[in-house]
Amino acid sequence: MRQVCGIAFFLMAIATFVPTSVLPGSEPVSSADILNHVDDLFRGSSSHATMVMKVITAHYTREMKLVAWSKGKDYSLVRILEPLKEKGTSTLKAGNNIWNYLPKVKRVIKIPSSMMGGSWMGSHFTNDDLVKESRMADDYTHSITFEGTREGTEVIELTLIPKPEAAVVWGKVVATVRKSDWIPIKIDYYGEKLGLERSMTFSDIKTLGGRLAPATMQISPADKPGEYTLVTYDDIEFDIALKDSLFTLRTLQNPEAL
C-alpha cells in the first residue's frame, strides 16, 4: 500500500547536482532535459547526508534520525541514529539486493522478494522503492503539459506515461517543477486506472552541500488522508571520497566502523 517511485527517498540521500549543458532559460526547454535535471538533482558520484524522517500513520507516529552514504546509483547505506532503541539498525543496498542489519540480535538478513513490498522502517516507502532504478526519462514517455502560473509561482508541468514494457506499476506520473530553476515542487503518481495513488511534495528550498535543492520531502498516500512520511535534510556532502568497502556486508554489521 505504500509504494512510492524510487526516485523519492534514496535520491535524496544520493544527491548531487550535475550541471547540465542546458541551464534553465538559456535554450528551448524540452521535457527530457527537465526530467534529467530532476533525476540528477539527487544523483552523483557519491554523497553523505544526515536527515530526519517523521512518519505519521493511523496507528503510530515515529521520528528517526538517519545518516546515509551513497556511491553511484548502485550502492547505498543508511543507518538509524535515533531513537536509541533502534540505533544501529542499518540497510545496505547493492545493486538489486537489500540487507538489513539488526543490532539487537546482531544479525544480517537479506530481504527476500516476498518482503520487497513491505514498508521500510515503518515509513511509507517500501523496500522495493529503495532498489527501483527507474530514471524517469528512460522508463516513461514524457511531454510538457502546462507552462504558467499556479498559486503564485511560475511552473512547468510534465506528464509521464510509462513505456509499454517498463516494469513500473503506475499508469501516469505528473511532475511539477519551478520554471526558474527546475526544482521539483510536486510529483503525483496515478494507478493504471488513473486514480491518484500518492503524492510527493517538495519544499524548504535551500542551499545544501553547495546546491539549491528542496530540503524537505513529504509522501502521502491518497487513500489514507492524514498519513504521510516527511524527510528533512540536515546536511549533505557531495562527491566525497568513499571506499567501496563501505558498502559491504562486513561494514553493515559493524556500526562502530564509521
Cα dist from 248 to 24, 60, 180, whole Å: 39, 33, 40
86 binds another protein (CB under 8 A): yes
What is the C-alpha to C-alpha distance for residues 200 and 244, in angstroms, rounded to an integer?
32
Which of 16, 31, 76, 119 touches another protein (CB under 8 A)? 119
Q: Which three cell numbers stand for residue 165?
A: 514494457
Q: Is the dihedral of CA 41, 43, 49, 55 positive or negative?
A: positive
104 binds another protein (CB under 8 A): yes
102 binds another protein (CB under 8 A): yes
Q: Which helix (H) or strand (E) holds 218?
A: strand 211-221
Q: Which stretch, 40-48, 169-177, 208-216, 236-244, contacts another protein (CB under 8 A)?
A: 169-177
What pairing do the DSSP bridges indicate for beta strands 153-162 and 61-71?
unpaired
CB of 153: closest distance to another protein in angstroms? Answer: 28
Tell me the residue type at 180. S
CB of 141: closest distance to another protein in angstroms? Answer: 15
Whichever of 31 and 134 has its CB closer to another protein, that residue is 134
Which of 23, 107, 235, 258 touches another protein (CB under 8 A)? 107
Which of 84, 167, 225, 244 touches another protein (CB under 8 A)? 167
161 contacts 46 by C-beta, under 8 angstroms: no
Please classify residue 105 by burial: count the beta carbons closer than 10 Å to its beta carbon, then call 0-12 exposed, 13-18 middle and 19+ buried. exposed
CB of 203: closest distance to another protein in angstroms? Answer: 23
Which of 81, 116, 161, 174 touches another protein (CB under 8 A)? 116
Binding letters toward another protein, positions 31-70, x by CB under 8 A? ------------------------x-xxxx-x--------
Task: Return the percent helix, strand and coil in the chain, to nearest 5.
Answer: 15, 45, 40
What is the C-alpha to C-alpha distance for residues 51 and 217, in angstroms, rounded to an integer?
11
Which of 27, 82, 147, 192 touches another protein (CB under 8 A)? 192
The one-character DSSP state at 234 is E
CB of 235: closest distance to another protein in angstroms? Answer: 25
Which residues form the interface with another protein (CB under 8 A)? Answer: 1, 3, 55, 57-60, 62, 85-86, 89, 95-97, 100, 102, 104-105, 107, 109-119, 121-123, 128, 131, 165-171, 189-193, 195, 197
